[in-house]
């Protein structure tokens, strides 16, 4: 599914497309809607880079067994495990 963000929303935010995506992914991560592995993959960052990003924003890492299972499933789906 694709989501179209109206230009006026992007312009009102004052963010570039990449920055806007980063904010959305960070918000979903903070809300515990996506795992740390999924978030880092969506932003095309390795895990360490993403951890530095969330640290710079003072966002706590919430990683539990469900997150681990999600990450393993993602890695299997991507053929990296």
pLDDT tens-place string over residues 18-54: 999 999 999 999 999 998 899 999 999 999 999 999 9
pLDDT of 64: 77
State the residue range of the domain holding 35: 7-77
As a whole number of angstroms, the distance between CA 51 and CA 39 comes to: 10
Give the chain's domain count. 1
Split at pLDDT 50, 70, 90, the class of 55 is very high
pLDDT at 66: 86
Tell me, yes or no, whether 1 lies in a domain: no
Would residue 23 count as lying in a domain?
A: yes
Do residues 55 and 34 make contact, with C-beta atoms less than 8 angstroms apart? no
Mean pLDDT of 11-22: 96
Look up the pTM and report it.
0.73
Residue 71 has pLDDT above 90, yes or no: no
């Amino acid at each position: 599914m694709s989501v179209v963000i109206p230009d006026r929303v992007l312009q009102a935010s004052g963010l570039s497309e990449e920055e806007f995506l980063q904010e959305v992914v960070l918000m979903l991560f903070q809300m515990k809607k996506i795992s740390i592995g999924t978030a880092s993959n969506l932003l095309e960052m390795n895990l360490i880079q993403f951890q530095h990003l969330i640290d710079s924003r003072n966002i706590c890492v919430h990683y539990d067994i469900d997150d681990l299972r999600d990450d393993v499933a993602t890695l299997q789906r991507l053929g990296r495990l």
